Amino acid sequence: MLKNILRGITSYTNSFKLIGQLKLWKYFFIPIGISVATAIIIGFISYSLSDNIGVFIAKIWIWDWGKETFTTISNFIGGATIVVLGLVLYKHIIMALSAPFMSPVSEKIEAHFTGEINHNHRTTSFKEQLWRGIRINVRNLWKEILFTIPLLLLGFIPIIGIVSTILIFLVQAYYAGFGNMDYTLERHYKYKESIQFVKKYKGYAIGNGIVFMLFLLIPVIGIILVLPLSVTAASKQTVDILENHKQQI
């Protein structure tokens, strides 16, 4: 697992060079726009709701003593919850809506590394690619929320909170990598088969997603470059896995 995570991380090497070499930047203009617009909208909503959630949680404390302290803690909990859930939503929205634009990128990368210009893969339309992206990311969104909320609650327990934070980050990374890998898998596997494939190679997904999540910590530049670099890296890595898989059959 650890070895595969490291491979997923190092797959970002030379991504800038590959994008320039294959002239892929033009495919990223619309996805970058989607990324920036989504980040602004979710950021605004998160800022507006954080205090309201804190006030709502604070109402649980009905006593006068310790009210101010509990309110402060509640505001922190509300803010942390909004930030985490905001990142979850942002990630899946941009990956779902960008699917039809990322598929050609992935296909060109695959053709570059395999030399297969006229492939025998599954052929899908813009509409089918969009629906596949939405379906995969809605499924992953609910799964991620299902794991994240209990971990968020555990995060406020001393010591356990440190482990919880790491686990939340890894869960987010896994589903980010999952979405990036599916742009390539979409041509090779049907919906359920793709899910099984990523589960089998989850280390690669986590590695790709770790860098994806770290990019989001970089103001402005992060949300601009996160899709081009993460999709390019995931496509290279997934193509390599598929080729090795073929050789083992």
Does residue 24 form part of some domain?
A: yes
Helix (H) or strand (E) holding 185: helix 160-185
Q: In total, how many domains does the chain have?
A: 1
Written as six digits, the tokens of 37 are 């617009």
* Coil vs helix vs strand at 201: coil
Written as six digits, the tokens of 238 are 């997934």
Q: What is the mean pLDDT of residues 39-48?
A: 81
What predicted TM-score, i.e. pTM, was given to this entire model?
Answer: 0.86
- Higher per-residue pLDDT: 245 or 131: 131
Does residue 118 form part of some domain?
A: yes
**Residue 129's pLDDT band (cuts 50, 70, 90):** confident
Q: What is the mean pLDDT of residues 14-29?
A: 94
Does residue 249 form part of some domain?
A: no
* pLDDT at residue 173, as a whole number: 96
Spell out the residues 6+ positions from residue 183 whose beta carbon is closer than 8 angstroms to its own.
99, 102, 103, 105, 106, 231, 234, 235
Looking at every residue in the chain, the average pLDDT score rounds to 85
Residue 216 in this model has a pLDDT that exceeds 60: yes
- Domain with 147, as residue range(s), is 2-244
Tell the burial category of 217 from Cβ atoms under 10 Å away from its Cβ (0-12, 13-18, 19+): exposed
Q: What is the mean pLDDT of residues 1-16?
A: 92
Interval 65-92: pLDDT, tens = 666 666 666 666 666 777 778 888 899 9
Interval 91-114: pLDDT, tens = 999 999 999 999 899 999 999 998
How far out from the chain centre does Cα 25 lie? 20
Tell the burial category of 249 from Cβ atoms under 10 Å away from its Cβ (0-12, 13-18, 19+): exposed
Contact 96, 134 (CB under 8 A): yes
* pLDDT at residue 148, as a whole number: 87
Alpha helix (H) residue ranges in 59-159: 67-97, 99-114, 126-154
Measured distance CA(233)–CA(12) in Å, rounded: 5
Measured distance CA(35)–CA(2) in Å, rounded: 30
Q: At what angle do helices 126-154 and 67-97 cross, to 10 degrees?
A: 160
